[in-house]
C-alpha cells in the first residue's frame, strides 16, 4: 500500500546492492515536486535550508519510531511528543463548506507551507497508528535497503519492499551456498 508517510521515509535511499551510497531525494528538486504533486500537497519552492533541516530531522525521527515499533517496542512518550509536535505545527481554522445540498466542516491551514506539509506527512503515520495497523509496518529484509513498507498480505508474510530486493538476497544466498 502506498502511504504518504512511507513515501517520505523512503526518500533517504540506500543502494540496495550494498555499495553504501545514499541518495537523499529531499535534495532533489524534481523528486520533491513530483512528491508534492502526487500527494496533493500544493506547489512549493524546494525547501530552503531551515525547512530542509526540519524535514530531514522529522524523517530520521519517523524512521526511528517505525524501526522501534517493527522490533516490537511500544511508542514512547518522547515519540508521541515528536508526532504531536509535528501535527500541531500549522495553525488551522474551521471552514463551513457546501457539500451538495448540505454542509460539512473542513479544517484548513492558514498557510500551506513546509510546516503544514510536515504535519500532513506525520498525520499519515498517525492514521496507521490510530488504526492499530502498526504490525503491518515493516522494514525491508535486505540489510542494504531497509525501506519501510506496509504489508497488506493476509498472513503478514511479506519480507521485501519489492521483488528486486527479495531476488537479490536469494541470489546472494544461492552463491554463498555454492561456495
Ligand atoms: Zn528493499
pLDDT at 43: 84
User: What residues flank ion ligand 1 with Cβ within 5 A?
Assistant: 140, 142, 145, 147, 161, 165
Per-residue pLDDT of the chain (179 residues; tens, 9 = 90+): 889 999 999 999 988 888 889 999 999 999 999 999 999 998 888 889 999 999 999 999 999 999 999 988 988 999 999 999 999 999 999 999 999 999 999 989 999 999 999 999 999 999 999 987 888 999 999 989 989 999 998 898 999 998 889 888 888 888 888 87
In DSSP terms, 105 is beta-bridged to 96
Q: How far is the CA of 160 from the centre of ligand 1 (A)?
A: 5
Separation CA 86–CA 117 (nearest Å): 10
User: What are the Cα distances from residue 73, in Å, to 51, 103, 164?
Assistant: 30, 42, 29
Q: How far is the CA of 165 from the centre of ligand 1 (A)?
A: 5
Q: How far is the CA of 159 from the centre of ligand 1 (A)?
A: 9
Q: Whole-model pTM? A: 0.88
Q: How far is the CA of 129 from the centre of ligand 1 (A)?
A: 23
**Phi, psi (deg, nearest 5) at residue 37:** -65, -45
pLDDT at 163: 87
Q: How far is the CA of 167 from the centre of ligand 1 (A)?
A: 10
Q: How far is the CA of 172 from the centre of ligand 1 (A)?
A: 14
Q: How far is the CA of 65 from the centre of ligand 1 (A)?
A: 19
Q: How far is the CA of 45 from the centre of ligand 1 (A)?
A: 30
Give the dihedral of Cα atoms 5, 11, 17, 22; nearest 10 deg.
-140
CATH architecture of 4-178: Orthogonal Bundle (1.10)
Query: For the chain, what are the domain ranges?
Result: 4-178
pLDDT at 83: 95
pLDDT at 134: 85
Q: How far is the CA of 14 from the centre of ligand 1 (A)?
A: 9
Q: How far is the CA of 67 from the centre of ligand 1 (A)?
A: 14
Amino acid at each position: 500500500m502506498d502511504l504518504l508517510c512511507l513515501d517520505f521515509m523512503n526518500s533517504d535511499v540506500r543502494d540496495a546492492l550494498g555499495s553504501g551510497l545514499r541518495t537523499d531525494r529531499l535534495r532533489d528538486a524534481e523528486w520533491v515536486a513530483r512528491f508534492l504533486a502526487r500527494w496533493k500537497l500544493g506547489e512549493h519552492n524546494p525547501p530552503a535550508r531551515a525547512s530542509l533541516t526540519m524535514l530531514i530531522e522529522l524523517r530520521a525521527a519517523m524512521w526511528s519510531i517505525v524501526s522501534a515499533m517493527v522490533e516490537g517496542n511500544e511508542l514512547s512518550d518522547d515519540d508521541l511528543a515528536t508526532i504531536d509536535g509535528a501535527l500541531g505545527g500549522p495553525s488551522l481554522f474551521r471552514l463551513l463548506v457546501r457539500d451538495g445540498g448540505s454542509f460539512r466542516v473542513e479544517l484548513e491551514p492558514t498557510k500551506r507551507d513546509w510546516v503544514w506539509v510536515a504535519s500532513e506527512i506525520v498525520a499519515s503515520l498517525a492514521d496507521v497508528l490510530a488504526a492499530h495497523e502498526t504490525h503491518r509496518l515493516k522494514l525491508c529484509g535486505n540489510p542494504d535497503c531497509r525501506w519501510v513498507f506496509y504489508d497488506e498480505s493476509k498472513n503478514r508474510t511479506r519480507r521485501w519492499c519489492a521483488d528486486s530486493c527479495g531476488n537479490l538476497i536469494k541470489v546472494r544466498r544461492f552463491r554463498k551456498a555454492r561456495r
